[in-house]
Amino acid sequence: MANVGRPEAGEYAPYFERYVSLVPGEDPLAVLEEQAVAVRQTLQGLPEAGAGFRYAPEKWSVCEVVGHCADAERVFAYRALAFARGEKAALPPFDENEFARLAGHDGVPFAELLDEFAAVRAATLASCARSTACRRARRSNEASRSRQSGPCQMGSPRVRRSIGSPAGGLDMPRGYD
């Protein structure tokens, strides 16, 4: 897979710097691949009871975080595709809290959510591998909106890494390791 390079500050909305800054290295697509493996390795041993864990009331459960990552990946992958195909229409907003509220991820077996995240990530990588989306977005007038998609996909699991560990790291929730 070709290295599309790290986006420059003017190629994404300033709001997304908090996500983009979390992405290591210069090859975002390699990070997407590595991250899929790391998420699976870190979470696959978590028992179903642990997947319902919330580190505080009203916070998302582990299931909801993994489901959110899959949903966010779909949204940002679609945005990248829309820009790559020259879509002129405004894209709909993404209210992650409303998505999470309506998704019902807590009712899905955790192993299925991990499989779903892996499948969505594989689809994203396949789309990037055969598409000129990233290269076209960089040259496009829409670059400031489209280049944020990949880094945001990578940043989302890193931002959500605090499941059960406010200090960070993709740690298992305390008491379930």
Q: Which domain holds residue 34?
A: 16-162
Assess if residue 176 is contained within a domain: no
Domain with residue 148: its CATH number is 1.20.120.450
Assess if residue 175 is contained within a domain: no
Assess if residue 170 is contained within a domain: no
Mean of the pLDDT values across residues 48-55?
93
What is the full DSSP assignment across the chain? -----PPPGGGS-GGGHHHHTT--SS-HHHHHHHHHHHHHHHHTT--HHHHT--SSTTSPPHHHHHHHHHHHHHHHHHHHHHHHTT--SPPPP--HHHHHHHH-GGGS-HHHHHHHHHHHHHHHHHHHHH--HHHHHHHSTTHHHHTTHHHHHHHHHHHGGGTT-TT-SSPPPTT--
Model pLDDT for residues 95-129, shown as the tens digit of each residue: 999 999 999 999 999 999 999 999 999 999 988 87
Assess if residue 58 is contained within a domain: yes
Model pLDDT for residues 77-91, shown as the tens digit of each residue: 998 888 888 889 999
Assess if residue 172 is contained within a domain: no
Number of structural domains the chain divides into: 1
Model pLDDT for residues 136-156, shown as the tens digit of each residue: 554 444 444 444 455 555 555
